[in-house]
């Protein structure tokens, strides 16, 4: 294993390292966002970063390493990326909808209001946030 990576030219090693590091950095930023944001809807935005750019950069690094090393190009990284890009937005959407259904409050000062349609559901109106304007 080590022998393979030694055989790579320096600039490729550097590129792979850069990709892995920036992937890790983006994942870290996503987690910081998850910890810092005040309400559930804002917290949803952190993980989308980590699961798109963060994982994307890491997988690209992995693909170059294995592709240029002797294992040959494998499609698995591409498949992981595709699955992630197809499923991450769905899960974010479901979490947001679940939060709306459970009438989880959003932070004060949030613009706009979630769903008129939901207001017709019993008990939804009382939870609508203290928004300042709009419709």
Partner 1 sequence: MTLMPQLTHWWPRPHFSLFLLVLWLLLVNSVSPGQVLIGAVLGWLIPFSTQQFWPERPHLHNPGRLLLYMLRLLVDILRSNLTVARLILRDPDTLTPGFVRYPLSLTNEFAITMLASSISLTPGTVSAGLSPDRAYLLVHVLHLDDEDELIEQIRERYETPLREILE
Q: Which residues bind partner 1 (CB under 8 A)?
A: 26, 29-30, 32-33, 36-39, 41-42, 44-46, 48-49, 52-53, 56, 74-76, 79, 85-86, 88-90, 92-93, 96-97, 100, 106-107, 109-115, 117, 135
Where does residue 83 rank: exposed (0-12), middle (13-18), buried (19+ CB within 10 A)?
A: exposed
Question: Which lies closer to partner 1 via its Cβ, residue 2 or residue 117?
Answer: 117
109: left (phi over 0), alpha (psi -120 to 50) or beta: left
Token pair 């850069």 is at which residue? 18
Q: How far is the CB of 117 from partner 1 (least distance, A)?
A: 6
Give the Cα separation of 10 and 130 in Å (integer).
Answer: 57
Question: Which lies closer to partner 1 via its Cβ, residue 48 or residue 127?
Answer: 48
């Amino acid at each position: 294993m080590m022998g393979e990576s030694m055989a790579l030219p320096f600039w490729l090693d550097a590129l792979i390292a850069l990709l892995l590091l920036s992937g890790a950095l983006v994942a870290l930023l996503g987690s910081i966002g998850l910890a810092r944001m005040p309400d559930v809807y804002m917290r949803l935005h952190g993980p989308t970063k980590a699961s798109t750019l963060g994982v994307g950069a890491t997988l690209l690094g992995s693909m170059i390493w294995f592709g240029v090393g002797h294992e040959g190009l494998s499609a698995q990284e591409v498949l992981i990326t595709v699955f992630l890009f197809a499923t991450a937005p769905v899960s974010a959407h479901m979490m947001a909808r679940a939060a709306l259904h459970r009438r989880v409050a959003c932070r004060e000062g949030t613009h706009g209001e979630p769903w008129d349609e939901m207001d017709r559901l019993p008990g939804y109106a009382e939870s609508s946030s203290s928004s300042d304007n709009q419709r």
